[in-house]
């Protein structure tokens, strides 16, 4: 008894026509969408800069502290007695209050200066009524 016939099976083959149809549709879609990309530019006018107007910098009071604890206000060396005398010098360097912004106290402290010397400058600025403080730093040299 033979249940199976000895017929030869056909080998499956890939039909390329639907694949080509899909690729052509994708190609047409891409060609149509790329032509619209040049029309999507915005027409804008950039603002012009007014070079004559410059931003006013606030007044600065330079306070230097050396490694030995010597103070200088605006490059004038002071004899440090106490914090209140330093505050008086800062107040006189600030000048009269003209109703504008108070000057910025720039602290130039040596890297070897003690912390207490820098804190004395901060306390003197507080007593002088100068709330705006900043510290000057030096950028490292490339090696």
Which CATH number is 78's domain given? 3.30.420.270
Tokens of 101: 């912004």
In a domain, 11, yes or no: no
Asked if the structure places residue 126 within a domain, the reply is: yes
Q: What is the distance between the alpha carbons of residues 133 and 107, in angstroms, rounded to a whole number?
A: 8
Any domain includes 5:
no
Tokens 């109703």 map to which residue? 99
pLDDT category of residue 127 using cuts at 50, 70 and 90 = very high
Q: Across the beta sheet with 71-73, what order do the strands follow?
A: 76-78, 71-73, 60-65, 104-109, 133-135
Number of domains in the chain: 1
Identify whether 89 is part of a domain. yes
Q: Is residue 48, in this structure, part of any structural domain at all? A: no
Q: Is residue 67 part of a domain?
A: yes
Instruction: Indicate if the pLDDT at residue 11 is higher than 70.
Output: yes
Structure tokens at 46: 């950039």
CB 107 within 8 A of CB 135: yes
Q: Give the orientation angle of helix 83-94 with respect to helix 115-128, to 10 degrees.
A: 50
Is pTM, for the whole model, over 0.75?
no
Q: In the structure, what pLDDT confidence band is assigned to residue 55 with cuts at 50, 70 and 90?
A: low
Provide the pLDDT confidence category of residue 3 given band limits of 50, 70 and 90: low
CA–CA dist 59, 106 (Å, integer): 10
The answer to whether residue 20 sits within a structural domain is no
Q: Is 114 contained in some domain?
A: yes
Which pLDDT band, with edges at 50, 70 and 90, does 39 fall under? Answer: low
**Rounded Cα distance, 140 and 143, in Å:** 9
- Residue 35 pLDDT greater than 80, yes or no: no
Structural domain boundaries enclosing 86: 60-135
Q: Which residues contact 112 (CB under 8 A, 6 or more apart)?
A: 67
């Amino acid at each position: 008894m033979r249940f199976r016939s000895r017929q030869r099976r056909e080998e499956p083959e890939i039909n390329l026509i639907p694949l080509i149809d899909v690729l052509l549709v994708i190609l047409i879609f891409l060609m149509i969408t790329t032509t619209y990309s040049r029309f999507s530019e915005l027409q804008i006018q950039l603002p012009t800069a007014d070079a004559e107007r410059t931003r006013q910098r606030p007044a600065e009071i330079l306070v230097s502290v050396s490694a030995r604890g010597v103070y200088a206000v605006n490059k004038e060396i002071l004899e440090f007695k106490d914090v209140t005398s330093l505050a008086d010098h800062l107040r006189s360097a600030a000048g009269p209050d003209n109703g504008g912004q108070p000057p910025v106290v720039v602290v130039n402290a040596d890297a070897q200066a003690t912390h207490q010397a820098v804190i004395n400058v901060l306390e003197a600025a507080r007593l002088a009524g100068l709330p705006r403080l900043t510290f000057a730093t030096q950028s490292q040299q490339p090696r």
